[in-house]
Structure 1
Amino acid sequence: MIEMEKLPVNVDEKHSKSRLRLWLKILGVSQYIQSDLRQKFRVEFNSTLPRFDVLATLARYEEGMKMSELSTALRVSGGNVTGIIDRLIDDEFVERTVMPNDRRASCVSLTALGRKEFEVQAKAHEAWVNELLISLDDDSLHILSHQLDAIIHHVVKD
């Protein structure tokens, strides 16, 4: 167990508890929104949020992506993506081709049916998120977005 004296103490003590409460609120809101979206995808499309994420990522790459690139873009393991891709192929939303210069690698891309399905789901997704965040006016959206960008900039040090 780590002793408290050995932890770094470069934290602004005055705001420490407030920042912790804020983090818990952000986490709670994020979990609530994800839960709501998962339910809506299940009910409306007999699908899942991870499947939508795969379709959304592939929709940005007309020429397709290597499986490894897709895993990296989604920040998940290759094993997680493979199962989703297999089911999307069964549904004829995605096709997989072998890379001509590397027979061990495969490229996945949306089919025409997959692109149409993504467009339908993307419109529904946007409407659901809009409904969930409807209490934020233009000024609030701008301020909150700017503040979250500042957190991202601080946390993700490129």
Structure 2
Amino acid sequence: MRVRLDKRRQLLAAGDEAYPVVVERTHTLKRVVSTYDAEALGADTFTGDTVSVTGRVIFLRNTGKLCFVRLREGDGTELQAMLARDGVGEERLAEFKALVDIGDHLAVTGEVITSRRGELSVQATSWQIAAKTVRPLPNEHNPL
């Protein structure tokens, strides 16, 4: 919990809000998933459509120049977001890696695409923490 509080302090020191009042969202995750059929689009496809989505980070993988994030809405709908150095910039990607944890609520804006493996994704051009989580999520195998 101490590490998460330190990350919250870093966020505030940088002039960002840990719990912004308004976060831009044009689509729900459910709407994106129901509108775009990853199977019909095929692998490595760019739709040209830009969306802003929000969700809770339930999976996070940092791989150098690219980060994969799985977002989940309250109804259980999930969508992958990809943050690349080319899309968000080197500085913002470094901030993402340093500040975002599993459990945080995240807002991502970017193009709807399918990944090389054919998974429906949002390729981020910008991101914002919608709510910084101070406590880790409970284990899904032993829910509250």
TM-score w.r.t. structure 1 length?
A: 0.23
Which one has the bigger strand percentage? 2
Give the structure, 1 or 2, with the largest relative contact order (CA under 8 Å, sep 6 or more): 2
- Higher alpha-carbon Rg: 1
Which one has the bigger helix percentage? 1
TM-score w.r.t. structure 2 length?
A: 0.24
